[in-house]
Each structure stands twice: as structure tokens, then as C-alpha cells.
């Protein structure tokens, strides 16, 4: 790479549009979507899809809601040609779906393309030729007039061949390839020359596709190009302005969104941005971006996992873990502060419980459930995770609503386990560690059974508890204002109560008559340290006693020097 003054590259020339209006516009409706997965995406694969795979992908696109689908380059190969013929013969083309076919402005290719369309109800013939100064000079060595003649002659031939398909409604799409690097006034000139041939009307519009074949400037420059073109095109109401961005600079989505603000009507792209070099526009991202702004994208990604799985299988491509909306990790928070905020947002939303309530959860742009993704995957636990993430997992997936004061310690225990193993913990592993460390602990003290007696005149309870303490079977007794208080008195009678009971919480796990109860005890050891225990049992009183025993055993493990036996 050059250093200092860069002479190898130069800034892209700006568009003179001082009174541009697109910055003040907003997108309020979905554009016309055109999938080019089966052509632009397919040609970019190391192993192109076979006919069966293309049929499966076509069915996915139809189910997603695409009404215009570019199915291939039928004059380029037998596979492309045969695929279209199979769609026709097997009657796979819905009445509201238009097949789009791509063809260069060359006579024999155009004629072969029309042969492939026999029996197709509705078709878009997508004609293109390169128009940029670089292509004119390097690839074709032709003048502007010669390049324009290629386009108009192609359009004339297509118009003459429409009568050979009496059962097909044919529309014309024209692309000045490399529009992004073509002088805007020349791009307009060549498009209007094609319009003069095709003679579109408001009822039968021409599609003028303005491709950023190579993304060469910032998205605002692309928007300026589109607005300038839309402003200066005569008979604008007889044309559909279409965008076809690539991602060479990594801003294809932004360029498309700004292009729509600048006046475009239609968008070509692929699922997950598959395409030549750095890829085509990712329609999934743009469509769901609209959805998060309260705009119906007119495409259904409510089962995005299925969409992704089909895409990955037939294309042999992989959707990156951080890909917007569809990546494995996009609804995952490893940061403790993020996890805590997500948990609070989810809890508040569940508490409010209003159907259709505005989505407001920190760090989550969209409700994963809208995409068919599970809440269970939102938070994953590793050594960097915080207390909120652990509490979220235990609450959402296992029904254990830990008292907030317990979150920091439990989070630390889980994180230490993840750090020790140098791995990410699955939800079941988080639950297993919590059970092992806190629930129904039985060493050195194990509660075997109790007999209870109630004193109604005082409201007190006495218990006789059968226990196993360090291998010795004993019966201990105590009396208090409840079972837990009575059991604490029984421990005190043995000289084992080196703690103060600070807090007790309990709740049912799930709903219904056959649910377990969970209880949580917080005690303070005489040394000042805090210990927690959890008990789970079908009987709420036994759950509380097991929680106290668990806290007692954890205190004993932390302070074996105390004379607890």
C-alpha cells in the first residue's frame, strides 16, 4: 500500500445536486422486490445449483412473497434453459409471479431467451449492456453512439419478438451496466433511447435498472445519482426505477435505503447478500430494517431459520454468525450489563402483557420471536457474562426466579465454571451447576423427615427432624413461629447455629396443581459472610427447609473452622 499522498486512487466525482431533497425523505412503503438469487447469486457459487436445487430455491422465494424472480440467464447454459422449461412443464409458476430472464444485447442470445419463455404467463426480459467510460474504452473500444446503438437494437429485437409469445405478457427491463461509474447524463441519454424504442405507458411501464455494478462511492453519492436521474427522466410516470447495489465498499444496504429515499421504486437483490465478489444487496436485511420501522415489508421472514437452512444447503454458502437478523449470535449477549438490561426489558414486557405493545427491550432491535427464533438463544453464558444473563437463563428456561440479591453470587459461580473450562456454557449446563451448588444440598447435613405439631393458641410450630449429620443419624427438635424458625431453633439446640436468617422467598415452578415449589434462603454467617441456599420440593414447607439446609451446608463448606459438628 502507498503511504502519505495516495496517487494510485482518486476520489469519486460528486454529483452536482445542491438542492437534493432525499435527505429529508423517509421510506414509508416497501419497494417492489426482485430476487436475483437464481441468476446473480447462482453464477457466483463455486458449485452452481443444479435444476433440483434451483426448483427448491424458487419455491422458497415464492413462499417468502417475491412476485418478481430472475430465474436465470437461459441463453448462457442448458441448465438455466432447462430450469425454466421445468417450471413451465410442472406448472410451478403462480399466477401472480413474474419470471425475469437476463440477456445481453446480442441477437442470438435474445432469440434463445425468447425460446425459453414459451408458456410462461408473465415475463420480464432484462436487457443490459455496459455503458461506463472504463468499459467503453477497455472492454469494447466503442464510442458512446456505438454503445447506445447496441442497447436500442437489442430493445427493437425484443419488441419484435413479443408477438412470438402470444400467451405471455412481456415487460422490458433495461440496465445500463456499471451505472455507478457511468456519466449520469449519458446513462439518462441511453435509457431514454431505449424508452423511445419500447414506447412504455403508465399501464405498461418500462423498468430502468440502475446498477451499482461496482460500489465506488459513499451511499450519499449513489442517492444523488438516483435523484438526479429521477428528476431529469422525461415521462417519469412510465418508468419503474430499480436499484441493484453491490457491496464492494460494504455499504450496499445503506446505498439501497438512500436510493429509495431518492425516488427509486424497486430493489433487486439476494437472500443474505450472495453474489459476485462482495455480493449483491441483502434483501433480508433491508426488508427487516423496514419491519423494525413499522413498515410491512411484504416479504415473510417469520421462519428465518428455515430460510437460512434452505439457503445454506442449496448454495453451500454460510451465513456469518454476526449477520444481521439471521446470524447465530445476533440475538446473543455475552456482556453482563447487556444481559441484565435484556432481562429487565423482557421481564417488564411480560409483566405489562399487552398484545401488540410497542417493542422496547434494550439491545434488541427486533423481537426474535417475529423471526421464528427462540428466546432461549438470546443469552449465552461464558466467563465474560454477568449476573443478569445467568438469572435470565434460570428464569426463562427453568422457572427459577432467583431473588435479586442472589444474582451476583450465582453469576460469579457460573462464570467461574465457564472460565475454568474456557468455554461457553449451554443453558442445561448453567442449570446443572446451579443445582449442584445450591439446590437440596445434603452434606454434611441431610434432612430425612420431619414431624410437625401446630399450636393454634400461640400460632407456633414445633418440629422433630430426623437428620443425617456427618454420617450420624439424629433427631433434633425446635419450636418457632414457623417450620423454618423451628428448624433453626433445632440447629441452635445442637450448637450448630452460627448464622442469622436474613431472607426467605418462595414461588411455584410453572402452573397447575402438580408443580414443584422453589424456596430461597439467605443467611449471614457469624463471620459476616453471606450464604444462599435453594430448596425444591412438591411441598412448599419442605422446599423451605431444604433451602435452609442448603444454605447451612454452603456456610459449613465456606467456614469449616466453625464448630458446626
Please report, for the domain that includes residue 501, its CATH number. 3.30.160.270
Query: Residue 564 domain-assigned?
Result: no
Query: Residue 490 domain-assigned?
Result: yes
Are residues 241 and 94 located together in one domain of the fold?
A: yes
CB 313 within 8 A of CB 363: no
Joined grid coordinates for residue 519: 424456596
Q: List the Cα angle 105/157/149 in 5-degree steps.
A: 55
Are residues 425 and 453 located together in one domain of the fold?
A: no
CA distances from 118 to 81, 166, 168 (A): 11, 9, 8
- Which is it for strands 530-537 and 517-525: parallel, antiparallel or unpaired? antiparallel
Are residues 166 and 288 located together in one domain of the fold?
A: yes
Q: Which of 226, 231, 295 is nearest to 256 (CA)?
A: 226
- pLDDT of res. 349: 86
Are residues 216 and 85 located together in one domain of the fold?
A: yes
Query: Residue 106 domain-assigned?
Result: yes
CB 154 within 8 A of CB 129: yes
* Domain region containing 493: 445-558
Domain stop point among 371, 402, 437:
437
Query: pLDDT by residue (tens digit) across 275-302?
Result: 999 999 999 999 999 999 999 999 999 9
- pLDDT of res. 377: 45
Domain stop point among 407, 437, 467:
437
Compute how many other C-beta atoms are within 10 angstroms of the C-beta atom of residue 254: 18
Compute CA 156 distance to the chain's CA centroid, rounded to the nearest angstrom.
45
* pLDDT beneath 70, residues of the chain: 355, 375-380, 382-387, 513, 562-565
Q: Give the C-alpha separation, 386 to 338, whole Å.
A: 8
The 3 state secondary structure assigned to 264-301 is CCEEEEEHHHCCCCCCECEHHHHHHHHHHCCCCCCCCC
Are residues 178 and 283 located together in one domain of the fold?
A: yes
Query: Residue 327 domain-assigned?
Result: no
Q: What is the DSSP string of 16-27?
A: --TT--GGG---
Q: Give the C-alpha separation, 82 to 84, whole Å.
A: 5
Are residues 56 and 150 located together in one domain of the fold?
A: yes
The residue written with cell numbers 418457632 in the block is 480
- pLDDT of res. 565: 42
- The helix-helix angle for 387-398 and 336-352 (nearest 10°) equals 40
Query: Residue 284 domain-assigned?
Result: yes
Joined grid coordinates for residue 242: 430499480
Domain stop point among 382, 417, 437:
437
Are residues 461 and 427 located together in one domain of the fold?
A: no
CB 440 within 8 A of CB 535: yes
Compute CA 274 distance to the chain's CA centroid, rounded to the nearest angstrom.
16
The CATH number of the domain where 33 resides is what?
3.20.20.70
pTM of structure:
0.78
Are residues 461 and 404 located together in one domain of the fold?
A: no
DSSP 3-state of 183: coil
Question: Ramachandran region of residue 194, left (φ > 0), alpha (ψ -120 to 50) or beta?
Answer: alpha
Are residues 115 and 215 located together in one domain of the fold?
A: yes
- 145 Cβ contact partners less than 8 Å away, ≥ 6 residues apart: none
Query: Residue 260 domain-assigned?
Result: yes
Query: Residue 349 domain-assigned?
Result: yes
Give the total number of structural domains in the chain: 3
Give Dmax over CA atoms of the chain in angstroms.
109
Q: List the Cα angle 105/50/319 in 5-degree steps.
A: 95
Are residues 306 and 352 located together in one domain of the fold?
A: no
Are residues 76 and 166 located together in one domain of the fold?
A: yes
Query: Residue 484 domain-assigned?
Result: yes
Joined grid coordinates for residue 145: 453512439
- Which is it for strands 98-104 and 530-537: parallel, antiparallel or unpaired? unpaired
Are residues 126 and 161 located together in one domain of the fold?
A: yes
Amino acid at each position: 500500500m502507498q503511504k502519505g499522498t495516495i496517487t494510485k486512487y482518486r476520489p469519486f466525482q460528486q454529483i452536482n445536486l445542491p438542492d437534493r431533497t432525499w435527505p429529508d425523505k423517509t421510506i414509508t412503503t416497501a419497494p417492489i422486490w426482485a430476487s436475483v438469487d437464481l441468476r446473480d447469486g447462482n453464477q457466483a457459487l463455486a458449485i452452481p445449483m443444479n435444476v433440483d436445487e434451483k426448483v427448491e430455491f424458487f419455491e422458497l422465494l415464492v413462499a417468502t412473497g417475491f412476485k418478481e424472480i430472475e430465474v436465470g440467464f437461459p441463453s448462457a447454459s442448458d441448465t438455466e434453459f432447462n430450469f425454466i422449461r421445468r417450471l413451465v412443464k410442472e406448472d410451478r409458476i403462480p399466477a401472480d409471479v413474474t419470471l425475469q430472464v437476463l440477456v445481453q444485447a446480442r441477437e442470438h442470445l435474445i432469440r434463445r431467451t425468447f425460446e425459453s419463455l414459451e408458456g410462461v404467463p408473465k415475463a420480464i426480459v432484462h436487457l443490459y449492456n455496459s455503458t461506463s467510460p472504463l468499459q467503453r474504452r477497455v472492454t469494447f473500444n466503442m464510442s458512446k453512439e456505438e454503445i447506445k446503438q447496441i442497447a436500442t437494437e437489442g430493445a427493437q429485437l425484443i419488441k419484435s419478438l413479443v408477438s412470438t409469445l402470444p400467451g405471455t405478457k412481456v415487460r422490458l427491463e433495461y440496465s445500463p451496466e456499471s451505472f455507478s461509474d457511468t456519466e449520469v447524463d449519458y446513462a439518462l441519454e441511453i435509457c431514454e433511447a431505449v424508452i423511445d424504442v419500447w414506447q412504455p405507458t403508465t399501464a405498461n411501464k418500462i423498468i430502468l435498472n440502475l446498477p451499482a455494478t461496482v460500489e465506488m462511492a459513499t451511499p450519499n453519492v449513489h442517492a444523488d445519482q438516483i435523484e438526479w436521474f429521477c428528476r431529469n427522466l422525461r415521462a417519469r410516470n412510465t418508468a419503474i426505477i430499480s436499484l441493484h447495489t453491490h457491496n464492494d465498499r460494504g455499504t450496499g444496504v445503506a446505498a439501497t435505503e438512500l436510493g429509495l429515499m431518492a425516488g427509486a421504486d424497486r430493489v433487486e437483490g439476494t437472500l443474505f447478500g450472495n453474489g459476485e465478489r462482495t455480493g449483491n444487496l441483502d434483501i433480508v436485511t433491508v426488508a427487516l430494517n423496514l419491519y423494525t420501522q413499522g413498515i410491512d415489508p411484504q416479504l415473510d421472514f417469520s421462519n428465518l431459520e428455515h430460510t437460512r437452512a434452505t439457503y445454506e444447503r442449496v448454495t453451500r454458502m454460510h451465513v456469518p454468525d454476526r449477520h444481521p437478523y439471521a446470524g447465530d449470535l445476533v440475538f446473543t449477549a455475552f456482556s453482563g450489563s447487556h444481559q441484565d438490561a435484556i432481562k429487565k426489558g423482557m421481564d417488564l414486557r411480560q409483566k405489562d402483557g399487552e398484545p401488540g405493545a410497542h417493542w422496547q427491550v434494550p439491545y434488541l432491535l427486533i423481537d426474535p420471536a417475529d423471526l421464528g427464533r427462540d428466546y432461549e438463544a438470546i443469552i449465552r453464558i461464558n466467563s465474560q457474562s454477568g449476573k443478569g444473563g445467568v438469572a435470565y437463563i434460570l428464569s426463562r428456561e427453568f422457572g427459577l426466579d432467583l431473588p435479586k440479591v442472589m444474582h451476583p453470587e450465582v453469576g460469579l459461580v457460573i462464570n467461574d465454571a465457564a472460565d475454568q473450562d474456557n468455554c461457553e456454557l449451554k443453558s442445561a449446563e448453567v442449570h446443572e451447576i446451579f443445582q449442584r451448588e445450591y439446590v437440596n444440598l445434603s452434606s454434611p447435613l441431610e434432612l430425612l423427615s420431619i414431624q410437625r405439631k401446630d399450636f393454634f393458641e400461640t400460632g407456633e410450630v414445633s418440629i422433630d427432624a430426623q437428620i443425617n449429620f456427618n454420617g450420624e443419624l439424629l433427631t433434633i427438635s425446635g419450636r418457632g413461629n414457623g417450620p423454618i424458625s423451628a428448624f433453626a431453633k433445632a440447629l441452635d439446640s445442637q450448637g450448630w447455629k452460627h448464622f442469622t436468617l436474613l431472607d426467605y422467598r418462595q414461588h411455584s415452578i410453572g402452573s397447575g396443581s402438580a408443580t414443584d415449589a422453589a424456596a430461597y434462603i439467605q443467611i449471614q454467617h457469624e463471620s459476616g459472610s453471606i450464604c444462599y441456599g435453594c430448596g425444591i420440593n412438591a411441598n412448599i414447607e419442605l422446599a423451605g427447609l431444604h433451602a435452609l439446609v442448603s444454605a447451612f451446608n454452603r456456610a459449613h463448606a465456606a467456614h469449616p473452622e466453625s464448630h458446626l459438628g
